[in-house]
Amino acid sequence: MSMTTSNATMSLRKGSKVWIEDRDNAWLAGDVTGFVGKQVQVLTESGRQVLAFAEKLLLRDADVDYGGVDDMTKLAYLNEPGVLDNLKKRYALNEIYTYTGSILIAVNPFTRLPHLYNVHMMEQYKGAPFGELSPHVFAVADASYRAMMGDAKSQSILVSGESGAGKTETTKLIMQYLTYVGGRAASDDRTVEQQVLESNPLLEAFGNARTVRNDNSSRFGKFVEIQFDANGRISGAAIRTYLLERSRVVQITDPERNYHIFYQLCASGRDADTYKLGHPSNFHYLNQSKVYELEGVSSAEEYVKTRRAMDIVGINNDEQEAIFRTLAAILHLGNIEFSPGKEHDSSVVKDDQSNFHLQTAAELFMCDLKLLLAALCTRSIQTREGIIIKALDCDAAVASRDALAKTVYARLFDWLVEKINRSVGQDHNSRMQIGVLDIYGFECFKHNSFEQFCINFANEKLQQHFNEHVFKMEQEEYRKEAITWSYIEFIDNQDVLDLIEKKPIGVVALLDEACMFPKSTHETFANKLFQNLGAHPRLGKAKFSETDFTISHYAGKVNYQTDSFLDKNRDYVVIDHCNLMSSSKCGFIAGLFPALPEESSRSSYKFSSVASRFKQQLQALMDTLSSTEPHYVRCVKPNSVNRPQTFENTSVLHQLRCGGVLEAVRISLAGYPTRRTYHEFVDRFGIIAMEFMDGSYNERAMTEKILQKLELENYQLGKTKVFLRAGQIGVLDSQRAGVLDSAAKRIQLRLRTYIAHKDFTLKRAAAISFQAYCRGHLARMIYAAKREAAAAILIQKCIRGWLLKNAYTQQYTSVLLLQASIRGFITRQRFLYIREHRAATVIQSRWRMFKVRSAFRHRQHDITTIQCLWRRKLAKREFRKLKKEANETGALRLAKSKLEKQLEDLTWRLQLEKKMRGSNDESKSVEIARLQKKVQSLVLELDAAKLATVNECNKNEVLRNQLEMSVKEKSSLEREIVGMADLKNENSYLKSSLSTLEEKNAALQSQLIEAKEDASSNLKKLREVEKTCSQLQQKLKSFEEKLSSLDSENHVLRQKTLSTPVKGNWPSHTKPLLERFSGALTLPFSDRKYETPTPTKSAIANSDSRRSKLTTEKQQENYEILSRCIKENMGFKDGKPVAASVIYKCLLHWHAFESERTAIFDFIIENINSVLKVGDEGVTLPYWLSNASALLCLLQRNFRSNSFLTPISQRSGASTLLNGRVAQGYTPHKYIGLDDGASPMEARYPAILFKQQLTACVEKIFGLIRDNLKKEISPLSNSCIQAPKNQRVHGAKPSRSPNGVPQQASSSQWEKIIEFLDSLMDRLHENHVPSFFIRKLTTQVFSFINISLFNSLLLRRECCTFSNGEYVKSGLAELEKWIANAKEEYAGTSWHELNYIRQAVGFLVIHQKRRKSLEEIRKDLCPVLTVRQIYRISTMYWDDKYGTQSVSNEVVAEMREMLNKDSQNLTSNSFLLDDDLSIPFSTEDISMTIPPIDPTDIEAPAFLSEYPSAQFLLQNPK
């Protein structure tokens, strides 16, 4: 770091971006604002001014991207704050994985990210080169698998981190991916991968517990060795465990928990009752902490998962019962309490509650109660004289109880691991393995005991291995680039390892020596430790304790408390405990404690050092790791509260130190920490020496000239990269900043000149404008004065004229008024005279009219009275008639209601018949006939009702006529009664009865209206009944059709079961052709045999031998014809396939479609499949896609839809008709279904099955063509997603010529895709593939291009750039041109299939993204993309051309909030697209879209003339 700081001091200047140390945040970003003496004044981002020495500052990259970099080695300044800031930026964007060279750093997100771990994501990383895609744990797993397969060398993946960092989950993901790529061997029926994955929850239940930092902390180390065979398939697995924390079984601290399995067993319900368990708070080993449940975890559900995992790994029910019996016994054992006994230093069981737990423990252990009590309260000592029984006091009894619990649990855990290994199965013949190490990380707490000492010892060992690997990777990088590296110093921690494990005075050796002496204490151990190792530089003494010691580890100093070191290191095996357990009647428990050797049984205690055993296991692990190629995953816990989106700098920095990441940085700093490709170096620092930017593309020479100009030393030029020493990048950035400053000053100079010139121009224009305004104002004033003078003269003239005109008008008006008054008086006098004369005339006329009218009224009144009397008489007569007719209408209503009831009864009977339809076939036909008769009767009743309605209407019409006649009679009577004077006496009576007659008349009219309404409603109801009857008739017809189809299906099924079909597979090729296809063909009509009662039947029987020989030869010839048609390329005639037409005509002529048993169809399908396997796929597949689809269309269009389902009676009739046609001279040249008006063919079951096989064959050929196209276009699309390096310009001299070299190079990849598409079209057109298939293939190819480009864009950060977006957009424009030229007939919706990549690229190339809101992006720019996809593009985007930024922080925060809600809803919203592998068409689609084919129009090939049986193909159709 010294070189870095010295160079930083030299390159510091005002405005430099730096990092400054901070107590709370570890490091703060700031800008240098000035210099105060030897100190530097820095303005932090929080606005605080700080003074610091230059040596304490570290340079910061001013051009760092918003989303950070995916590989730490790409950082301009590889230092602590740079690494920390990069991780923080990526973590804020949910980018939890980051590379540091080949090391993967995984930050725990504390939230679900399902889109990162689905099967589609694993498919993307499968086989991808390491570092090409975004960092991911799958990439590390894939790299290890590919290295194992490529180098035939075992690999190892080391996963480390502190508790809660996600080591266990990362290990699960690694194993999940290895299971995905490895699977299991084809010959192996064992589900090895499932057992390996299911062993995780099982080991978690028994070996994981809640700690202060993690709810699911592994309290043991685990090394899973997955074994592979030579084909890369998983063949076995083995699991090794290290240092199970045994003390946790009997002692825990709040708020931690014991192992999960105890809580699961207590929540198991019925099983818990069986073992007399209850709530965890009732047991001493569990209630030492008040935490019994984990948030979001159900112990009962976890118990079920544990039992299921046991089933999968092969633990049977008896063993499971014994395991849980043992666990319950341990819990009851912990509740046994002791009190002082009667004798000195003795102990007894305390109370009845303890006795209950003692008895329960004995029952569960299935051992003797007295022996268990003796093993807990006494100790047997073997002497020369014999065995001495020593009583134990209360404390010793408790210690004995806890020792028994720990021993039983430890042996149970070891048995479980061994059982998993046996169940999974180890492949001892495997030479390739991938080991996944999930081990505890470096630990440093407030109180550190023996467990932390062992854990940190293991991490020191692993760190040494890690340093060697990093150093080797550095050497490999230097060797690959061919640079000098011999003087690089290796950083080692061997001195710490010697301090811990070296004999005879290492810490472990001294600890074992102290444990050998019974009277040794932790004070004597500490004194001896300081006496022998006090001078060691890595060992220190604690300030406030005489027994504590401090070791300076690679991650920092750790203070260890030795209080319990000796007790935890002693692993005594109590012989009494072993004898007790081995005497158990439970075979499982007895098997955990095998018989001890004789020499071991002589002592009541057997000492075993935990540290030494752990040291041996660790050395074995290191030997295993040394024999493999390591890969490293460092897990980091971002905060101590286990919350998402919270990043604690100090905690993460400490973990980076503990994980060795900063150690790797230190190793890199010792060599060449800054390495850039020549392209990147010239692109960034080319502005320092613009004179060398001559437009050539020799970037290595440019790099060397730039470095020589700056007079830098100790740099190295590799093959593809330039390597810089620590601090040299700061000098380059300082020079670059100086060039940019001078450029900025020149820009400011020109800008100020421009502003001044613009200001002068504006002022001059303003002065000219002001002068013009003043002159205009003066001119306007002069003009206004002249205008006012002219106006005054005009006003005076007008006033004088107005006064004269007014006087004349007044005189004229007075004269007119006088004249008018005189004339009006004379006129009024005349008018009064005329008015009086008219009034007298009117009075006289009114009087005469009154006298005449009164006489007329008297006569009219008399006539009206006579009329009313006559009308009453007629109305009474009419009323009696209407009353009779009303009675007839009621009868009609009764008939209507009866009809409705009959209709309901019929409906009910129909429903009943539906239910009884399937019970009896004969009763169905009888019932249907009866229903038809009933319907006919109903129809007759309907007709009768219609006739009654018509009669009712006729009667109404008669009534209307009678009323009209009565009106005429009344008028005649009025004329006769005019002269009757004698009726005046009856006038008064008629007046009284007139009102009542009118009321009755109104009542009759209302009744008439009601009768008309009833008649119309009856008509409507009758129409509804008629409609319902028609619907019932239609349903009856459909039921009859379904019934007939069911009958025919039953008949076909009976026929299939009774007959023995000819199988299409031939077991031996030595059989003759006739034996393999016996009965396959039916001869033509001229050679067919019909059982007819003719005299020649005996003659035919006599010639059977000769006829069978002819049949054999003819069948062999037919098969040879079909074989040649299939295997030879017969070409096309007018765009129609010849082979399909010939095969169809042959099958039709041989009547194969009408045969009940035949194997010819299997022969055709198998020959087509064999041709597809042997021939050139580029030619054979399109050729047979045309022929197979044409043959399928012929079958589809000419088969009757359900012809093979016709009833027996219909079939017999058809055969009779066929025989009749033979007798009439039927010729084979007339094809059914091709002539106008011809009916479809009668096809049997084999023919229908052949159509289905042919459909599957067409789908198979289409799928093969599509898959081959995807394989061919996949490398082309992968090369098109990223612009070539020479596409990007250097410095400030871009070549914008459209005909330049870069543009040609960039378009060459897209031109290859265009050429590929053109060749595809040529191949398909040459084989006359229907446009329907071409359209489907083109659409699927473009859909695959869209998926490939889009997924690559989202997985490779170097593709999400502005210039790359322009490059891809130009390529998409080429594809658009091709689609337009191909036309919609062949291209279809191909352009719409590119929606995802089009919108993604369009988003990359738009400017001012920060001004866009999320709603605008989702609705206007990217309506097709999901929020997760937009978020991915936004966070990965960086502008390499103009330096603009991505979307605003508010938009990113809004999208992150939406994604968090989605992840909480457990919806797997992957941002990658899935490839659709389904067949995008059906048989109906093919027959509807492909034009009809007439096989009679196609000439048969010439080779058919060689076969006599094919002569019918050479004849011209009639």
**8 Å CB contact between 239 and 423:** no
Does the annotation list 167 as a binding residue?
A: yes
Q: Which of 134, 156, 171, 218 is catalytic?
A: 218
d(CA 705, CA 908): 102
Element (H, E) at 1333: helix 1331-1355
Which residue's structure tokens are 């050679």?
1087
**74 marked ligand binding residue:** no
Which position among 79, 154, 217, 1339 bears the catalytic label?
A: 217
CA 738/CA 743 separation, integer angstroms: 8
CA 640 to chain centre: 32
Is-catalytic flag, 698? no
Q: Is 891 known to sit in a ligand binding site?
A: no
CA distance linking residue 1444 with residue 1435, whole number of Å? 13
SS3 26: strand
Q: What distances in angstroms separate CA 959 from CA 882, 945, 955, 966, one per listed residue? A: 9, 21, 6, 11
> Among 144, 214, 569, 1158, which one carries the catalytic annotation?
214
In degrees and rounded to multiples of 5, residue 307 shows phi and psi of -65, -40
Measured over the CA atoms of residue 1354, residue 1359, residue 1365 and residue 1369, the dihedral's sign is negative
Q: What is the 3-state secondary structure (H, E, C) of 821-890?
A: HHHHHHHHHHHHHHHHHHHHHHHHHHHHHHHHHHHHHHHHHHHHHHHHHHHHHHHHHHHHHHHHHHHHHH
Does residue 168 carry a catalytic annotation?
Answer: yes
Packing angle of the helix pair 1177-1198, 1160-1174 (nearest 10 deg) = 160
What is the sign of the dihedral through the CA atoms of 893, 899, 901 and 904?
negative
Q: What are 1026's two structure tokens?
A: 């008629």
Task: Give yes or no for a contact between 66 and 1445, defined as CB atoms under 8 angstroms apart.
Answer: yes
Phi first, then psi: what are they for 558, rounded to 5°?
Answer: -130, 130
Q: Can you tell me the distance from the alpha carbon of 1338 to that of 1317, in angstroms, rounded to the nearest whole number?
A: 8
380 is catalytic: no
Instruction: Say which of 198, 443, 952, 1393 is annotated catalytic.
Output: 443
**49-53 and 58-59: which strand pairing?**
unpaired
Query: For residue 1255, which of 1331, 1135, 1161, 1325 has the smallest C-alpha distance?
Result: 1161
* Choice among 30, 236, 435, 441 that is catalytic: 441
Q: Is 163 annotated as a binding residue?
A: yes
Is 161 among the annotated ligand-binding positions? yes
- Lookup result for tokens 């992968």: 1278
As given in the structure block, the two tokens for residue 1506 are 């060689």
CA–CA separation, 445 vs 447, rounded Å?
5
And the tokens for 656?
């980076």
- Residue 1421 DSSP symbol: I
**Directed axis angle between helix 317-334 and helix 299-313, to 10°?**
140
**1358 annotated active-site:** no
Q: What beta strand segments (E) does 361-430 contain?
A: 378-382, 387-391
Q: Which of 100, 163, 360, 378 is catalytic?
A: 163
For residues 609 and 601, is the Cβ–Cβ distance under 8 A? no
**Which of 82, 164, 730, 1064 is flagged as catalytic?**
164
Sequence-ordered list of residues with C-beta below 8 angstroms from that of 759, at least 6 positions apart, any chain: none
Q: Is 214 a catalytic residue?
A: yes
1186 labelled as ligand-binding? no
Q: Is 556 known as a binding-site position?
A: no
Q: Looking at 98, 168, 1338, 1483, which residue is catalytic? A: 168
Q: Residue 349 belongs to what H/E stretch?
A: strand 347-349
Which residues does 1287 contact at the CB level (< 8 Å), separation at least 6? Answer: 1302, 1305, 1306, 1363, 1367
> Does the active-site annotation cover 164?
yes
Closest CA to 1317 of 1375, 1267, 1271, 1396: 1375
In the residue annotation, 1131 being an active-site residue is answered as no
* Alpha carbons 1261 and 1272: distance in angstroms, whole number: 17
Please give the Cα distance from 712 to 729 (Å, whole number).
Answer: 10
Placement of tokens 């040249």 in the chain: 1229
Annotated catalytic residues are 163-164, 168, 214, 217-218, 441, 443
Q: Which residues sit in the known binding site for ATP?
A: 161-168
Q: Which residues sit in the known binding site?
A: 161-168
